[in-house]
Amino acid sequence: MLGFKPLEYRQTANTIVILDQTQLPEKEMYKHLKTVDDVYEAIKSMKLRGAPLIGIAAAYGIVLTAHSNELESILKAADYLESARPTAVNLSWAIKRMKDVAAKSKNLFEGLLKEAQAIEQEDRSACQYIGQYGSELVKAHAKIMVHCNAGALATAGIGTALGIIYTAESQNKNPVVYACETRPLLQGARLTSWELTKNRIKTYVISDNMAATYMPEMDLAIVGADCIALNGDTANKIGTRGLAIIARYNNVPFYVAAPLSTFDFSIETGADIPIEMRSEDELRKFNNKKIVADRAGIYNPAFDITPADLISGIVTEKGIIERPDRTKIERLKNSGLNKYL
């Protein structure tokens, strides 16, 4: 991607350098994470976010502790990092991989570094394939609605949903993107508009509640995912469910783009996916201005569940699962493509 890297591990300093996403689009500020506490805080406060990226960050976070070569303290750090955010399955998936490697490594630092690099490299490669497969869904001059940020800022590569758009652009299809701003933390407004325009993709930002106005013009809607259950129900950023309902009402194809690391085959349906509730203050204040009356309550779930029957297809690095259901996803599970789950 043009001119930024959301995360980079520097071996000589044993440091993770991240682009602080809470400062975008105003400031492009990088932060150096040197301890597991730094990594935990960065994930929790969403200085870095995006399901694949937090998996990678946690993997390198474990590497930060590995010089000690003490298995117990490494496993403790791993559990601590896993508790930072409950919904994105890529986080627990990456941590499981790291723990498995730790259990059988002699040189813990070397083994864990190699595994973190593999997780990062696989994610970069998955984004490329998702982009390739997904770009087949994009016709020339397509108008595409997206939500939150499932882009280069959320992965080690070109992104998932936005990876499809970058790939279509590289095929001279000139897609036009409508990005929902994504309250409360405005990842669509702040991050998606930033990375897309930096890469010369024509982008319009709308508030989430304008989706129903512009959906009839869309050729396609594409979103990312934080967890996909065995039956295809998908947890993604709050607002995805409403977007899927509005897309269906308008007969607009609604696709989920996610690497296989986002599937949790142990979860039967969306009803069993844990949904992170975040602080009331994300809705109660904005930039220190109070925007809700004190005596009113607030609900702030960070994710919602889109039922599989509203999803036209799931774009993975192994191809597109059209009209996802339990049978197709079980076939995927049993094909052994995703050996870590």
Binding site for a copy of itself (CB under 8 A): 25-26, 179-184, 186, 189-190, 193-194, 196-198, 202-214, 238-239, 241-243, 245-246, 248-249, 283, 286-301, 304
Smallest gap from Cβ 74 to a copy of itself, in A, equals: 38
Reduced to 3 states (helix: H, G, I; strand: E, B; else coil), residue 17 is strand
Are 158 and 150 in contact by the 8 Å Cβ rule? The answer is no
Q: Which is nearer to a copy of itself, 76 or 202 (by Cβ)?
A: 202
Q: Which amino acid is at 285?
A: K
CB of 280 to a copy of itself, least distance (A): 9
DSSP 287: T
Quick one: 248 or 318, whose CB is closer to a copy of itself? 248
Residue 189 has what DSSP assignment? I
Kindly tell me which of 168 and 205 has the beta carbon lying closer to a copy of itself.
Answer: 205
Q: Which amino acid, residue 189?
A: A
The nearer residue to a copy of itself, 99 or 241, going by C-beta atoms, is 241
- Of 123, 208, 226, 264, which is the active-site residue? 226
State the helix-helix crossing angle for 71-82 and 89-104, rounded to 10 degrees. 170
Q: How far is CA 181 from CA 129, 146, 149, 261, in A?
A: 27, 9, 9, 26
| Residue 42 beta carbon to a copy of itself: minimum distance, rounded to whole angstroms | 21
In whole angstroms, give the CA distance from residue 264 to residue 262.
Answer: 7
Nearest CB to a copy of itself, comparing residues 170 and 209: 209
Is 49 strand, coil or helix? coil
Structure tokens at 233: 């129900």
Q: Which residue has the tokens 């095929």?
A: 171
In whole angstroms, give the CA distance from residue 113 to residue 218: 43
Q: Is residue 82 classed exposed, middle or buried when 0-12, 13-18 and 19+ CB atoms within 10 A define those classes?
A: middle
Which residue bears the tokens 């499809």?
164
CA torsion angle 266 267 272 278 (round to 10) = 90
Tokens standing for residue 99: 């723990």
Q: Torsion over CA of 77, 83, 84 and 89, rounded to 10 degrees? A: 110
**Tokens (6 digits) for 66:** 């590995």
Residue 240 beta carbon to a copy of itself: minimum distance, rounded to whole angstroms = 8
Residue closer to a copy of itself (CB basis): 82 or 280: 280
Q: Is residue 37 annotated as a catalytic residue, yes or no?
A: no
Catalytic residue annotation: 226
